[in-house]
Structure formats: structure tokens, C-alpha cells
């Protein structure tokens, strides 16, 4: 009995210590990361990347119903689960920041504002153009599949569907990397930076994988 009581007391003390550490870490995080404004890069990224990730989930479910290839189906499952979870995390950020899920500005507006690097994100405007010229507010997010492309994938099957999916998802991942790099150039928020850094690393790795898979089907 004495031994059991000691274990209970130890467990309670441990829980209190863990709770205090977690509370302290949360307080420290709040001090390091003040809540962003509704027109901030952090909020814009959280809203736009949710939309971007949700389409990634949609494309993944489409290909899982149109191929029996185990590697493609496994990849699609990984993308759907990862991006679905991350989309929920982004939703949670906005809720925690007490910001609306709906943006007061057109999509991509945050990416048109200058970042720290004057040479970043000038893909469509040329090397001498300002960073804000690379995108226009309200334009489709980089890498997003068009309705026609989604319709074509929906109508395809087998290897043809696999090729279409891999081609679309490579572009989709490149767009997500571009968005993640854009917010890294515009934020000091440690939580956002950790998330965006992980997106760049994981999606670039999957791009390499998908390029190899596409080459096998050419």
C-alpha cells in the first residue's frame, strides 16, 4: 500500500511539474510570438495554405480511386493525411489568434507585400522586378490545379491518371514550397517558421520522389 501511495504521489508531482513546464513554455511562446494581425503575413499564410492543402487532399483522394498501383496509393495516402492534419493546424492558429478564417483581403495579398529579401519570389516578374510584382492579389495560388485539370484527372484511370496526378502534385508541392518560403521571408513567429521550414523540407523530398515516379511512367 505504501508503495502504491508513493507511486500515486510521484505521478501527481510529475503531472504538476509537466503542467507548470507546459504553462511556462506557453507563456514564453506568447511573449516571443505576439498574436498576428488579420492582414499579417502569418494570417494570410494560414488562410491560403489551408486552401492549398485542401486541394492536395482532394487530388490525393481522386488518384486513390483511379489506380491500383501500391506506391502511388501509398504516396496519396501520406499526402492526404499530412496535409489534412496541417490544414487543421492552420485553422487552429487562426482560432488561437482570435482571427476570422475568412480573409478581409483577396487571396495572395500577403505575398505581394515586400519581404526581407528584395530578390525573393520574382519568378513571374523577372530578376530586376520588386518582390511584390511576382503575384497579384486574388490570383490563383502557386501550383493550384485548375478546374479543367481536376476534371481531366477525374476522367482518367490507370497509368494515365498516375501521370496526371504526379504532374499536378509536383507543381502543387512547388507552389506550397514557394508559399512557405514567402512566409519565412516575412515572419519572426517561431511557430510559423518551424511549420514553414518543415513544409519546405518535406515537400521538396516528395517532389524528388514524384519526379522519379513520373520518369518511370514516361
Asked if 83 contacts 137 with a C-beta cutoff of 8 angstroms, the reply is no
> Which residue carries 483511379 as its cell?
66
pLDDT for residue 134:
65
Q: Cell numbers at residue 64, please?
A: 486513390
Model pLDDT for residues 24-36, shown as the tens digit of each residue: 444 445 557 899 9
User: In the predicted model, what is the mean pLDDT of the chain?
Assistant: 84
CB atoms within 10 A of CB 80: 19
Model pLDDT for residues 55-79, shown as the tens digit of each residue: 999 999 999 999 999 999 999 999 9
pLDDT for residue 167:
98
Quote the pTM value: 0.79
> 13 or 181, which is more confident?
181
Amino acid at each position: 500500500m505504501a508503495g502504491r501511495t508513493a507511486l500515486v504521489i510521484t505521478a501527481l508531482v510529475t503531472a504538476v511539474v509537466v503542467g507548470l513546464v507546459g504553462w511556462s513554455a506557453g507563456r514564453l511562446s506568447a511573449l516571443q510570438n505576439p498574436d498576428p494581425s488579420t492582414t499579417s503575413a502569418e494570417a494570410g499564410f494560414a488562410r491560403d495554405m489551408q486552401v492549398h492543402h485542401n486541394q492536395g487532399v482532394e487530388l490525393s483522394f481522386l488518384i486513390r480511386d483511379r489506380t491500383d498501383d501500391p506506391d502511388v496509393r501509398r504516396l496519396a495516402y501520406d499526402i492526404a493525411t499530412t496535409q489534412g492534419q496541417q490544414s487543421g493546424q492552420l485553422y487552429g492558429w487562426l482560432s488561437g489568434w482570435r482571427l476570422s478564417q475568412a480573409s478581409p483581403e483577396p487571396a495572395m495579398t500577403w505575398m505581394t507585400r515586400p519581404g526581407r529579401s528584395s530578390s525573393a519570389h520574382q519568378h513571374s516578374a523577372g530578376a530586376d522586378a520588386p518582390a511584390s510584382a511576382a503575384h497579384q492579389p486574388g490570383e490563383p495560388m502557386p501550383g493550384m490545379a485548375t478546374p479543367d485539370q481536376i476534371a481531366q484527372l477525374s476522367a482518367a484511370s490507370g497509368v494515365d491518371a498516375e501521370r496526371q496526378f504526379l504532374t499536378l502534385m509536383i507543381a502543387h508541392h512547388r507552389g506550397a514550397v514557394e508559399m512557405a518560403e514567402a512566409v519565412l521571408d516575412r515572419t519572426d513567429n517561431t511557430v510559423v517558421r518551424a511549420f514553414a521550414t518543415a513544409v519546405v523540407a518535406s515537400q521538396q523530398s516528395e517532389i524528388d520522389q514524384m519526379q522519379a515516379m513520373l520518369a518511370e511512367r514516361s
